[in-house]
């Protein structure tokens, strides 16, 4: 009785196969949504660490509780200005990294 080797795949290979290769519309959309989800989770985690409710954070930022809720669940509709105000209200630093044609830029 011989054992059949099981082929394993990396996460990158699975994404290439089922979502699309890097640079394709579907893959770019997936990566964007993933980053926005992570950003929302970071906001929620920072808010909870500061022991603030969504309503309290909204008051500090000047927006309604519903906007904080939307931001935490998916930051897709947030403007950069709103995101910066939220992190400022949370007394949290935010850094942006930009790569342009393999040249790395960091905005602090």
Tens digits of residue pLDDT in 76-104: 777 888 888 999 999 998 877 777 776 66
**pLDDT recorded at residue 57:** 96
Provide the whole-model pTM: 0.71
- The CATH number given to whatever domain includes residue 47 is 1.10.260.40
Residue 47 is assigned to a structural domain of this protein: yes
| Domain boundaries, position 27 | 11-107
69 lies in some domain: yes
Joined tokens for residue 41: 């989770």
CB 53 within 8 A of CB 64: no
Q: Considering the domain boundaries, does residue 3 fall inside one? A: no
* Residue labelled with tokens 């950069």: 80
In a domain, 2, yes or no: no
Contact 92, 98 (CB under 8 A): no
Average pLDDT value for the chain: 87
pLDDT of res. 99: 73
Asked whether residue 1 is domain-assigned, the answer is: no
For the chain, how many structural domains are there in total?
A: 1
Which residue carries 């989770």 as its tokens? Answer: 41
């Amino acid at each position: 009785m011989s054992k059949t080797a099981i082929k394993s795949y990396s996460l990158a290979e699975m994404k290439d196969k089922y979502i699309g290769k890097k640079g394709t519309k579907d893959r770019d959309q997936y990566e964007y949504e993933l980053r926005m989800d992570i950003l929302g989770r970071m906001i929620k985690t920072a808010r909870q660490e500061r022991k603030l409710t969504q309503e309290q954070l909204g008051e500090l930022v000047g927006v309604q509780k519903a906007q904080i809720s939307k931001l935490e669940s998916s930051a897709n509709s947030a403007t950069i200005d709103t995101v910066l105000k939220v992190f400022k209200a949370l007394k949290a630093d935010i850094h942006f990294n930009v790569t342009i044609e393999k040249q790395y830029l960091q905005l602090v």
